[in-house]
Amino acid sequence: MAKIHTRTFRVRWSELDSSGTFSPENFLRYLIETAYDWGDSLGLGSVAYEEMGIYWLIRQTEMTIYKTPVHNDVVDLTIWMLSWQKVRGTRCFEIKFSNTGEVIAHGIQKIVSMDRTTNRPTVLVDEFIDSFKLENPIKFEESGISFSSSTNPFFSCAKTVEWQDLDAQQHVNNAVYFSYAREALAKALASQGVSFQSLIPAFLQIQYTSPAVWGEEIQLVVINEQPAVTPAIYHIKMFRKADGTSVSDCVIRLRD
């Protein structure tokens, strides 16, 4: 029962976008798959979570991307727990090429343990947390980039949540929010005459504020507070059109 877990993935053709580039939201999907495999390896997989009456809610993900894999590349994703306090934890992850060990990306993810009945945060017993905790875990520092407080967007568009966007919890899958953000940014750049093919993220940070569900209409607002700075950092805010409540905030920094 390893407290550091690695899963191997082969980049599939279906994971490339229309420019022929690996879509970075697939890293987020790899991360979730690895996390569940990690639980299974410790005897704490999805079935055990259901029996315990808990589920995991991702609150924030931050990832720095150094390389872009291509079709048929084989990559290893390694995950480990950095810290846990009552109902909240932070885990780190690193993605490498299997054949060379070269780092593709790394980051951190903040999670919360939730009660399936009340849908409220719940404290986990120490024995459960001890299954994951390391004595001296490798730590990746947070970027320190804050989400924009600006109300002056240079682009805005709407998106209706589709059935295919949902996960088993009946709300939008965490990776899909980044797809929403990237599409909004692609449209924003296209409105400025910039090709979407140059939309290769070097860094992403996404905060999940409240879950969106099927049929909801989401307003996406793209903000670039420092347009003269290279590489540009864009903030994409997502709100419910019905009442203006926040759904998610995303930061994307593009490659030079």
Residue 177 sits in a domain of what CATH number?
A: 3.10.129.10
* pLDDT for residue 141: 81
Whether residue 148 lies inside any domain: the answer is no
φ/ψ (deg, to 5) at 26: -65, -30
| 57 and 123 share one domain | yes
**Which segment, 49-53, 57-61, 92-96, 221-225, is predicted with the most confidence on average?**
92-96
* pLDDT for residue 84: 87
Count of domains for the chain: 2
Contact 147, 249 (CB under 8 A): yes
CB-based burial, 144-157: b 16+ in 10 Å, e otherwise = eeebbeeeebebee
| 27 and 121 share one domain | yes
Whether residue 169 lies inside any domain: the answer is yes
In the predicted model, what is the mean pLDDT of the chain? 89
pTM passes above 0.85: yes
| 78 and 159 share one domain | no
Whether residue 106 lies inside any domain: the answer is yes
Whether residue 149 lies inside any domain: the answer is no
| 125 and 48 share one domain | yes
Q: For residues 231 and 79, which has the higher predicted lDDT (pLDDT)? A: 79
Q: What angle do CA 214, 200, 255 make, to 5 degrees?
A: 135
pLDDT tens digits, one per residue of 11-44 = 999 999 887 889 889 999 999 999 989 888 887 7
pLDDT of residue 50 exceeding 70, the answer is yes
| 42 and 80 share one domain | yes
Task: Note every long-range contact of 73-76, with CB atoms under 8 Å and residues 24 or more positions apart, other chains counting.
Answer: 73/10, 73/11, 73/97, 74/8, 74/9, 74/10, 74/11, 74/98, 74/99, 75/8, 75/9, 75/10, 75/11, 75/30, 75/104, 76/6, 76/7, 76/8, 76/9
CA dihedral (232, 142, 126, 2) in degrees, to 10, reads 80
* Host H or E run for residue 89: strand 88-97
CA dihedral (15, 191, 177, 206) in degrees, to 10, reads 110
| 13 and 103 share one domain | yes
* pLDDT for residue 151: 63
Whether residue 138 lies inside any domain: the answer is no
* pLDDT for residue 144: 72
pLDDT of residue 227 exceeding 70, the answer is no
> Could you tell me the pLDDT band of residue 123, with boundaries at 50, 70 and 90?
confident
> Could you tell me the pLDDT band of residue 86, with boundaries at 50, 70 and 90?
confident
| 125 and 17 share one domain | yes
Portion of the chain with pLDDT greater than 90, in percent = 55
Whether residue 76 lies inside any domain: the answer is yes
pLDDT of residue 213 exceeding 60, the answer is yes
| 119 and 164 share one domain | no
pLDDT of residue 181 exceeding 80, the answer is yes
Mean pLDDT of 106-122: 91
Mean pLDDT of 94-103: 98
Task: Give the C-alpha separation, 163 to 176, whole Å.
Answer: 12
| 217 and 174 share one domain | yes
- From 92, 115, 130, the end of a domain falls on 130
Whether residue 146 lies inside any domain: the answer is no
φ/ψ (deg, to 5) at 5: -125, 140
| 105 and 20 share one domain | yes
* pLDDT for residue 238: 96
* pLDDT for residue 49: 79
> Could you tell me the pLDDT band of residue 225, with boundaries at 50, 70 and 90?
low
| 115 and 34 share one domain | yes
| 200 and 248 share one domain | yes
Whether residue 136 lies inside any domain: the answer is no
Q: For residues 148 and 101, which has the higher predicted lDDT (pLDDT)? A: 101
Domain that holds residue 72: 4-130
